[in-house]
Amino acid sequence: MSSSLSPTIWANHCLEWGHHTYVMGIVNVTPDSFSGDGLVKDTWQDDALVQHAIEQAQRFVTEGATLIDVGGESTRPRFAPVSAEQELARVIPVIHALKATLPAEVIISIDTYKAEVATQALDAGASMINDIWALRHDPDMAAVASGHGVPVVLMANMRGYQKREIVSDITRYLAGCIDYALAAGIAWEHIIIDPGIGFGTTPQENLTLLRRLGELRALGRPILLGTSRKATIGLVLGGLPVSERLEGTAASVALGIAQGADIVRVHDVREMMRVVKMSDAIVRGMFVLPE
């Protein structure tokens, strides 16, 4: 699979689209992540939390992750929102530590929809914004992304949205978000899109989105896909709990790459990196057999 997308270049980072699939490892600095991997524990002191985050991120990078996505608020269905102050208290020490310990080429992403959190995270060492509300929740968020000159992931969020036909709805939603970002001064090359699997979408709609993911390439931006351990996988596989959704996640990652996904956001980096390498060898021809 070839790509006509120009690379995304900023600071000392470069993402070249179409050559291989990038892996984003998830570091949840929360007590209530749906996936059960949240790093906040009642018995941990702050230094223990930061140390566990460092160890997890370092392991992800060793296993092949190019991006580390740090989040301090759960976005599971019916999640309990936290204040900006609480979110900052969770993520800023972790980002400072990751910036100091990870290789310089690793991209640290802040998973937030709050402008104040994004600002302080970028100042602490993050270099990408991953916003589940595509800059629309906080009116200051677009200016933060534009002012810092960093890429932003615009996710389609159908919570509260009147849906008609899911692929058309997602395409129209993301097209509007792209226009909004461009009007705010965000560079075209700095925009990444995410169909928002599971964010206000039914299991059947999620499967349709995965089956027709390639249609989003018409928007002309790289695609981030986040299916890791999600509820639709458990449902399809007969009600499997989060801890048993690895193979289902692998299938969604492989087929997502075949449909044009450029980044996959995952909890299980080692296993999904193997899926990515195999998928890229088939889909992108990114392997030469030894003679």
Check residue 64 and report its DSSP letter.
Answer: T
Question: What are the residue ranges of helices labelled H in the chain?
Answer: 46-63, 84-101, 115-124, 141-148, 166-183, 203-211, 231-236, 246-258, 269-283
Q: DSSP letter for 6, please.
A: P
Give catalytic residue positions: 230, 265
Residue in 187, 177, 249, 247 with CA at minimum distance from that of residue 216 = 177
Does residue 248 come out as left (phi exceeding 0), alpha (psi in the -120 to 50 range) or beta?
A: alpha
> Nearest CA to 211 among 247, 236, 175, 245?
236
